[in-house]
Amino acid sequence: MSRSAHRPPAEPGARAVPGLAAIVLATLAVLVTAADTYVVVLALPDILTGVGVGLDELQRATPIVGGFLLGYTATLPLLGRLADLRGRAPVLVGCLLLFALGSLLTATAETLGPAVAGRGLQGIGAGGLVPATLALVADRWSPERRAVPLGVVGAVQEAGAVLGPLAGAAVLAVADWRAIFWLNLLLGVALAVGVVVTGRVRRPDPVGLGLAALTVLALGLLLAEPPALAEDVTLGLLWVPLLDRSAWTGPLLLVTVVLGVLLVARSLAQPAGAVLPLGGLGRLAREVDVVGSLLAVVALGALVWAFAAADPAREVVAHGWVLLPLAALAGVLFVLHERRAVAPVLPLAALRPVGAWGALVVNLFVGAALVAALVDVPLFARATTTPGDQLGAALVLLRLLVAVPVGAVTGGWLCRVVAPRVVAGAGMALAAAAFAAMTGWDERSLDGAWSTAVLVAAGLGFGLAIAPVNAVLLAVTPPRVHGSASSLAVVARTVGMLAGLSLLTAVALRRFTAEVAAIGSPVELCPASPADCPAYDAATEAAVLTQLHTVFAGAAVAAALAAAAALLLLRGAPVRSPARA
């Protein structure tokens, strides 16, 4: 039987399914953007210094990290809807170009504002790639054959957590932090061109493409101001305003504006193959439900920022008296609006099957458990065997992270012979058992082989759940909403991570505070030599371990809830091979 025989039948008016090469490029794009998240965490101190923020003002780093998360999460429903309406490949191209533009803004930022704006655009682009890629896989393979490809996509996405710090360290060893974003810019543009060539996107207008290239080049030179050019006696005049006190009259700025205007005019005059799809914006606005999209952005944006900007030492959510009511109000208005909308931005009706909303519930708990591993395993390492050694702590976490992609591919393969709910349930039960074992770790546990086995088991458990959850979600929803459904899966996992981090950390810090208060002061424990009191130091270290054990216990509960939800809710459509069912 030919491969095409395994593809789901096309719906009336459906677009041609892109080839395997486009899926490979889309998967690579997911890898690049996933790695970027972890690269930035590694380079964050250098970035802050580069945009004029002192290391004694680390609290100002919140907008750089939060801006990416905000862009990543809040626009996902809209991008998923666009992937359903306009095709997967065009959305992939658009998201890659947004990611590239954000990289350009960040690479050339001299102050905090442009850096935050650039990270926000990077987040929007990175977020939209995941649902479009998952939908692309669902378009090509039938339900009983798509679990393994979905597992591969999930494995590549999780591999970004492994490759990101390594790539960042390699770049920072030979260049400064800006080189990371220049590399992102080149990779984003190259992948976008590759998707255009292989993804059966309509061939672009060559004149418009040339204008776009010149506009991007001029904008890049304007923002970067390369010293070799800007400080040249002749070429440097391009950056000097023609009129005094009128910065907008700089020749290079004027050229950039003129090229941009010409690009817009060309796109309006030649809608067929236009680089900027401006001709159909009015119709597209009616199709995507602008009001519903704005309400979704407000609801998710307020919720994400409430958790992302919180200081766990003082609060579970930031500005909760404003942001949480705003998120709730926008959410209620969104649901009411979507029920009456002719073309809703989210397929609420398509999520009625138990397997659909059940997949979102499972992802929510998976995110809450996963974030505990990503944050607190390195903290445990720094508190015990690798004090003050960030690289050593990262290598400890690597033991867990390398197992996640292996588990993702394995979980996809197992779905061909075992019910997906069993695979996901077993995986999260394994992760829950691993976290339960971590609650018994002491200051020497990481020196033994048993801790490695526990970390690998946790990583395998998380990996095993990736493909089954996505496979069931895409099997019980119609192809016309696969982009939107996949975007909700990503939203659920991200919100779970943010909420889990804030809640678990806040509870653990309260336990730590209570333990420290019960210890007493060094003067009480060591009246003779309070400045050198081993008993006080030992008790404080024990309190730190209690705090971390509390997080691990909470993660075990979240993973166990994910396992139970998977066993009970991931049902409703067969995804196993008929020959093996």
165 and 88 within one domain = yes
42 in a structural domain = yes
Q: Provide the pLDDT for residue 14.
A: 44
370 and 335 belong to one structural domain: no
pLDDT at res. 200: 61
Kindly state whether residues 110 and 199 are assigned to the same domain: yes
Three-state DSSP class for 537?
Answer: helix
User: What is the distance between the alpha carbons of residues 351 and 51, in angstroms, rounded to a whole number?
Assistant: 44
Task: Indicate whether 147 belongs to any domain.
Answer: yes
Residue where a domain terminates, one of 204, 230, 245: 204
Both 462 and 480 in one domain: the answer is yes
- Buried b vs exposed e over 518-542: b needs ≥16 C-beta within 10 Å? ebeebeebbeeeeeebeebeebbee
Contact assessment for residue 68 and residue 37, using Cβ atoms and an 8 Å cutoff: yes
Instruction: Determine, yes or no, domain membership for 511.
Output: yes
Is residue 224 in a domain?
no
Q: Do 309 and 381 share a domain, yes or no? A: no
Please identify, among 204, 229, 253, the residue that sits at the C-terminal boundary of a domain: 204
Residue 231 lies in a domain: no
Mean pLDDT by 10 residues, the chain (581 residues): 42 53 90 83 79 66 78 87 85 90 89 88 91 90 88 89 80 86 91 80 74 85 81 81 72 88 83 67 72 88 82 73 90 88 79 92 95 86 76 83 93 92 96 95 88 95 95 91 90 89 81 74 66 68 84 95 96 57 41
Whether residue 547 is found in the same domain as residue 575 = yes
* Domain closes at, from 309, 327, 342: 342
Nearest partner of 469 among 417, 411, 429, judged by Cα: 411
Question: Cα–Cα distances in Å, from 554 out to 312, 352, 371, 423, 452?
Answer: 15, 30, 11, 22, 21
- Asked if 175 contacts 244 with a C-beta cutoff of 8 angstroms, the reply is no
Between the two ends of the chain, the Cα-to-Cα distance in Å is 19
Q: Are residues 324 and 450 in the same domain?
A: no
Contact status, residue 22 vs residue 196, Cβ threshold 8 Å: no
- The secondary structure of residue 541, as a DSSP letter, is H
Residue 503 belongs to domain with CATH number: 1.20.1250.20
Report the number of distinct structural domains present in the chain.
Answer: 3
Same domain, 537 and 551: yes
Please tell me whether residues 471 and 541 are part of one structural domain.
Answer: yes
Residues 425 and 319 in one domain: no
182 and 316 fall within a common domain: no
How many other CB atoms are found less than 10 A from the CB of residue 216?
A: 20
Q: What is the pLDDT of residue 344?
A: 82
Residue 187 gets the label, from left (phi > 0), alpha (psi -120 to 50) or beta, of alpha
CA-wise closest residue to 317 among 569, 51, 66, 76: 66
Residue 280 counted as domain residue = no
CA-to-CA dists, residue 463 to 166, 277, 427, 533, angstroms: 21, 38, 7, 45
Predicted confidence at residue 168, as pLDDT, reads 79
pLDDT at 361: 96
Task: Provide the residue range defining the domain that includes 26.
Answer: 16-204
**pTM score, two decimals?**
0.83
Q: Are 342 and 477 in contact (CB under 8 A)?
A: no
Residue 480 located in a structural domain: yes
If one counts every other C-beta atom within 10 angstroms of the C-beta of residue 568, the result is 14
With respect to residue 332, please indicate whether it lies within any of the assigned structural domains.
yes
| pLDDT for residue 464 | 96
Whether residues 336 and 351 share a domain: the answer is: no
